[in-house]
Structure 1
Amino acid sequence: MKNLEINIQKRFDSGRGEPFTLDVGFSIPEGRITVIFGPSGSGKSTLLRLIAGLEKGEGGYIRSAGISWFDAANSSFTPPQQRGVAMLFQNLSLFPHMTVRDNIEYAAAENDPGRIDELMTMTELLDLEGRYPHELSGGQCQRLAIARALAQKPGLLLLDEPFSALDSAVKKRLYDELISLQKKFGFTAVMVSHDMAEAYRLAEHAIILKEGRVTKEGPPEEVFLGKSLSTRIQIPARVISMESDEIHTLLTVEEGRRTFRVFVDNDEAEKISIGDEVVVAAKASEALVFKV
């Protein structure tokens, strides 16, 4: 799948008794994870539904590799099943009467046991292939939903805040697994999120959506931090304690189940509070901390 070009407008009820207009224009780069970040009610989920073809815009166009999926100018519209798109919602809609393997095989684009085994191995489901969804944990159900979506061999994977109901440690493991799967299979992914740490962790390309408009777009370190970082290590974390002397502040930060400490100048510490989401970046022998 080549770059996805989006320039689309749609009006709808905001749910607060007020009209809402989504009016956006941007490109989704091929073979990368793009995260659309914004608060609830900014139009993120509607935008995914427009890309998937579950809703129609009122103006503009959506083009994939130059091929029109939607164009208001000539009333063209490609139905969802012809777009090569898989979509993952918060409601996973797994088949309760089917086993793990059956759920994946049912969705598969073709009979390819090797690919199905590979997907189950990468999502740690191979030893659970005979279980039913009600016998799985929340994280395992999420892995099954991802494997089932990828069994379709989509050119584009859309994710509508699928990890929001999971605890922090499980989410971070799933982030790593999603990144590994994307690198392995090379699909293009678009995920929407209102969690800035999640968005920063997953995004290779980031878009901020506010009140139906794109306010910022680009590399995640520039979009979320306002900086271009030439660092090898960048870890999203949360500040859990701060201890200061006359010169430095010792931050204790938490990343998943791990905690570690880092010194920052007091001037930098003034911008940070306990509970803040931060990015800890390592540059040569220096540690840098940025609030996100």
Structure 2
Amino acid sequence: MIRLYVRKRLHGPGGDFLLDVELEVSDAEFLLIFGPSGAGKTTLLRIIAGLEKPDEGYLEVDGEVWHDSKRGINLPPQKRDVGFVFQDYALFPNMTVAENIAYGMKRKDPQKVLELLRLAKMEALKDRKPSELSGGQKQRVALLRATAREPKLLLLDEPLSALDQETAIALRDEIKAFQRKYRIPTFMVSHSIEDVLRLADRVLRIENGRIKAFGTPREVLFSREWSPKFSLTGVLLEKVCVDVACILSIAVGSELVQVVVDKKTAQELSVGDTLLVSTKAFVPVVKKLHSPHLNT
């Protein structure tokens, strides 16, 4: 069981706000932390890892207290049993794939390294350096390295955001398979609806540092107030308005989708926004998830 309580004053696009999160997560659960940019998602991961300190908080993992602001307990990162996968892979360029995976293992075990490589179908690449790998292969190595530590908690910070759609689909399956096989409680930050639906046991939706929803993917995404028949995410490429309606051209993966909306809805949208498109009784509904114009 993981018990977490965090309060920390942050500065975002709209000014100062308070990250205020309290939750409990059961063993081997995959929790996906979802929400707009600047909501405090990555900061929450860094606090759990000990890379940042909350203004006030408590963190207990598997019966061990890692942080308690009232008692002055704050274990440093090296004493927290976590595996952290960063967006930029953070591999050691001078080490081979096998050496990167073995780095940080509590007990050096070449057979365990080979077992992990076989599971990821990367055994033939064990002697290569990171510079010789594709983006998807680097992310696999980062995931294997974090798993090889046999951590009490696995933290993933948007691990698929820099990958193409085809690679991301394959890696989602591998992440889920590894997490299930090794039964490691996992917290993952993502903006992707696909990640929510394919990976999460439960979803924590955060906006401006506050919990807006916490539950299963369907409970969070398909609430009573917004219950779509289908949904997809994409980036707004073009907006053309004629009379009272506007045509939105939206990139969804490698496909282009066009949706007609009223002018009032279109006025709130800008080229580059990430949109969620769904239907209510066969009427398209467009909802902005986040905007690059608000990123820090």
> What TM-score bracket applies, with the shorter chain setting the length?
0.7 to 0.9
Q: What residue number does 1:224 align with?
A: 221
Matched residue type, 2:282: A
Q: For 2:31, what is the secondary structure of its paired residue? A: strand
Q: What residue number does 1:8 align with?
A: 6
2:106 aligned to which of 109, 112, 115: 109
Q: What residue number does 1:94 align with?
A: 91
Matched residue type, 2:146: A
Q: Does 1:137 align with 2:134?
A: yes
TM-score relative to the length of structure 1: 0.77
Q: What CA distance in whole angstroms lies between the structure 2 residues aligned with 1:267 and 1:217?
A: 23
Q: 1:53 to 1:121 in 2, by over 3 A?
A: same
Q: For 2:121, what is the secondary structure of its paired residue? A: coil
Q: What CA distance in whole angstroms lies between the structure 2 residues aligned with 1:276 and 1:39?
A: 10
Q: For 1:95, what is the secondary structure of its paired residue? A: coil
Q: 1:110 to 1:203 in 2, by over 3 A?
A: same
Structure 1 gaps, min length 5? 228-234, 240-254, 259-265, 278-292
Q: What CA distance in whole angstroms lies between the structure 1 residues aligned with 2:107 and 2:51?
A: 24
Q: What residue number does 1:199 align with?
A: 196
Q: What CA distance in whole angstroms lies between the structure 1 residues aligned with 2:143 and 2:108?
A: 18
Q: For 1:107, what is the secondary structure of its paired residue? A: coil
Q: Does 1:268 align with 2:281?
A: yes
Alignment of 1:104-253 (within 5 A): 104-226=101-223
Q: What residue number does 1:59 align with?
A: 56
Q: What residue number does 1:242 align with?
A: none
Q: What CA distance in whole angstroms lies between the structure 2 residues aligned with 1:44 and 1:201?
A: 19
Q: For 2:195, what is the secondary structure of its paired residue? A: helix
Q: What residue number does 2:270 align with?
A: none
Q: 1:110 to 1:236 in 2, by over 3 A?
A: farther
Give 1:168 shift: 0.8
Q: 1:236 to 1:113 in 2, by over 3 A?
A: farther
8 Å CA contact 1:238–1:276 kept in 2: the answer is: no
Structure 2 gaps, min length 5? 225-229, 235-251, 256-278, 290-296
Q: 1:189 to 1:267 in 2, by over 3 A?
A: closer
8 Å CA contact 2:101–2:141 kept in 1: the answer is: yes
Q: What residue number does 1:248 align with?
A: none
Matched residue type, 2:283: E
Matched residue type, 1:269: F
Q: Does 1:22 align with 2:19?
A: yes
Q: What CA distance in whole angstroms lies between the structure 2 residues aligned with 1:213 and 1:7?
A: 12
Matched residue type, 1:23: D
Root mean square deviation of aligned Cα: 2.7
**Deviation digits for residues 35-56 of structure 1, max 9, x if unmatched?**
0101000000100011111111
Matched residue type, 2:137: Q
Q: What CA distance in whole angstroms lies between the structure 2 residues aligned with 1:60 and 1:100?
A: 37
**Deviation digits for residues 84-109 of structure 1, max 9, x if unmatched?**
10111112111111111111122322
8 Å CA contact 2:61–2:152 kept in 1: the answer is: no
Q: What CA distance in whole angstroms lies between the structure 1 residues aligned with 2:134 and 2:20?
A: 39
Matched residue type, 2:2: L
Q: What residue number does 2:33 align with?
A: 36
Q: What CA distance in whole angstroms lies between the structure 1 residues aligned with 2:280 and 2:138?
A: 45
8 Å CA contact 2:9–2:19 kept in 1: the answer is: yes
Q: What residue number does 1:75 align with?
A: 72
TM-score relative to the length of structure 2: 0.76
Q: What residue number does 1:247 align with?
A: none
8 Å CA contact 1:200–1:236 kept in 2: the answer is: no
8 Å CA contact 1:200–1:220 kept in 2: the answer is: yes
Q: What CA distance in whole angstroms lies between the structure 1 residues aligned with 2:282 and 2:119?
A: 40
Give 1:146 shift: 0.5
8 Å CA contact 1:100–1:129 kept in 2: the answer is: yes
Matched residue type, 1:169: E
Q: What CA distance in whole angstroms lies between the structure 1 residues aligned with 2:14 and 2:281?
A: 43
8 Å CA contact 2:4–2:22 kept in 1: the answer is: yes
